[in-house]
Amino acid sequence: MARRARIGVYAAVLALVGGLLLGWSERAGAAVDPLLSKGKAATASSTEGSSYVAGKAFDGSTTTRWASAEGKDPQWLRVDLGANATVSRVKLSWEAAYGKAYRLEVSADGTTWTTVAEEKAGNGGTDDWTGLSGKGRYVRMYGTARGTSYGYSLFEMEVYGVPDGGPPPSGAFTVVAAGDIAAQCTASDSGCAHPKTAALAQQIDPKFYLTMGDNQYDDARLSDFKNYYDKSWGAFKAKTHPVPGNHETYDPAGSLSGYKSYFGSIAYPQGKSWYSFDEGNWHFVALDSNAFDQSAQIDWLKADLAANAKKCVAAYWHHPLYSSGGHGNDPVSRPVWKILYGAKADLVLNGHDHHYERFAPQDPDGKATADGIVEIVGGMGGAEPYPIETVQPNSQKRISGDYGVLKLDFTDTGYGWSYVGTDGQVKDSSPKYSCH
C-alpha cells in the first residue's frame, strides 16, 4: 500500500535552482541527507496508552508505534531535533489508523509553525515526502482528519536533513527533570497537576528522569508515595534518579523514611542519600541539601569530583542558592557551589520554589561570568505554584503558574533545554552552552 514519493512544486523549483547555482546535483533530492530524528525527544497531543508514547515513532523499530487517542481531531506528533536544521525529507510509516488529511510543519521555537507539505486525500501506507525545504528545530505531523474511526498511529516518522553547523552532535541524550511533584490528589481530580506532568514526561520518553526534591507532599509518608506519586511519576520510577527535599524530612516515621522505603536502592545506590552516576560525557551528582551541614557529604563530594574523568558536570538538589520566588536565595548551598565551581561544573538544577527560572552563568557569589554555573529552578512538577517576588540579579527568565517539566538535551560537548508546559507547548528555550 506504499505510495509514491511526492515533491511539492515550489520545493522542487527551489531544489532545482539550488542545484544549478551550487552544483549540488549529486544530492539527487535529499537522498544523501542524514536521518536526524532517530532517538530524539518527542511529544504528542495524546497517546492511546503507555505502550504507544510519542518516542515509539522515533526509535527506529517498525514493530513499535505511537498512537493517539481514538476518535478525536486534530492530533499531532512532534520531534525535537535538538538544533536547527534544513529539513529535506519526512517519511511517515502509518499503521492501519492513518491520517487522511494532515500537514507537515517545522518550527524554530516549538510555537510558530510553517507548513512544508500538506496531504488532503491520504490513503495510509507509507508517505515519503522528498524535496522539502523547511528550516527549524522542531518537526511535527499535524493531523486534521482521520482516515478511520480510530486515531492516528505511526510506526515511524523519519526526518532527514542537514543540521546547522554540520553533522548532529555525538553522545546526544535527553533528560526530563522536575521538582515539587505529587500533591495529595489523583487524576480523578481535574485540578490535580502531577498526573499531567507525568503524562508529559512519559511522552517525551527521555533517557532517564531527575527529580529535585519534595517528590511527595505533605510529609512524604510511604502510604502517600503509594497513593499519589506512584500513580503518576511512579510509572517510570525505574528510570528515575531522585533526591529528597525538605518535605521528605517531615515523615512521622523518621526523616526520609517514606522516601527511602519507596525508592529503595534507586535513591541510595551508593548507600547514602547522595550519589553520582555517568551518562555519555556527563557526570551527574545527586545531592541531599537537607544535609549540606554534614561533613560526610561534603567530603564525599570533593572526592567524587576529584575522581571524575568526564568533561561535563551537572549537579542537582532541592534548595536553590538563587531564586526569585517566595523562598528566595538559600545560602545553605553556597559552600557546595564553591566546590562545584572549583571543579568547573556546568549546570545546577533545583526545586523548592514552585516556579520555573533560569539564570545566566554566575559564580558562587552571584557575579556573572562566562565560566560560571548555570542554575535552573524547576519546581513546577505538580505542587501549587508560587508567585515571583524579588527578581534576582542574573535571572534571565521566570514563569509561574504553568505546570511543566524541563526537557534537557545533552551532548558530549554541551547542553541546552526547553521548559515544556502540560499543554505540550514550549514555554521557554535556553541558549546553547558548551561545557567548561
Q: Show the beta-strand stretches assigned E in 38-74.
A: 42-44, 66-67
3-state secondary structure of 201: helix
| Rounded Cα distance, 366 and 362, in Å | 6
Task: Give the model's pLDDT for residue 168.
Answer: 53
Task: Give the model's pLDDT for residue 20.
Answer: 35
Task: Give the model's pLDDT for residue 30.
Answer: 40
Nearest C-alpha neighbor of 360 from the set 345, 349, 370: 370
CA 377 vs. chain centroid, Å, equals 14
Task: Give the model's pLDDT for residue 401.
Answer: 93
Task: Give the model's pLDDT for residue 3.
Answer: 41
Half-sphere exposure of 119 (CA within 13 A, CB side): 27
| Rounded Cα distance, 421 and 322, in Å | 23
| Rounded Cα distance, 315 and 56, in Å | 29
DSSP state letters, 195-213: HHHHHHHHHH--SEEEE-S
Task: Give the model's pLDDT for residue 50.
Answer: 86
274 touches 242 (CB < 8 A):
no
How many beta carbons lie within 10 A of that of residue 201, not counting itself? 27
Q: Which letter does DSSP use for residue 430 in this model?
A: P
226 touches 262 (CB < 8 A):
yes
| Rounded Cα distance, 405 and 319, in Å | 18
> How far, in Å, are 35, 43, 223, 352 from residue 155 at the CA level?
16, 15, 39, 40
Burial level of 23, CB count in 10 A (0-12/13-18/19+)? exposed
Query: What angle is formed at CA 243 by the lines to CA 238 and CA 248, rounded to 5 degrees?
Result: 110
Q: Which residues pair with 101 in a beta bridge?
A: 145
**Rg value, the chain, Cα:** 23
Task: Give the model's pLDDT for residue 280.
Answer: 93
CA 267 vs. chain centroid, Å, equals 21
What contacts 9, CB < 8 A, 6 or more positions away?
A: none
Tell me phi and psi for residue 102, to 5 degrees.
-160, 165
Place of cell 548507600: 271
Task: Give the model's pLDDT for residue 167.
Answer: 58
428 touches 399 (CB < 8 A):
yes
| pTM of the predicted model as reported, rounded to 2 decimal places | 0.69
183-238 pLDDT per residue, tens: 999 999 999 999 999 999 999 999 999 999 999 999 999 999 999 999 999 999 99
Residue stretches of the chain with pLDDT short of 50? 1-31
Go through the domains of the chain in sequence order and give each one's CATH number.
Answer: 9-163 (2.60.120.260), 173-434 (3.60.21.10)
What contacts 309, CB < 8 A, 6 or more positions away?
A: none
Task: Give the model's pLDDT for residue 351.
Answer: 98
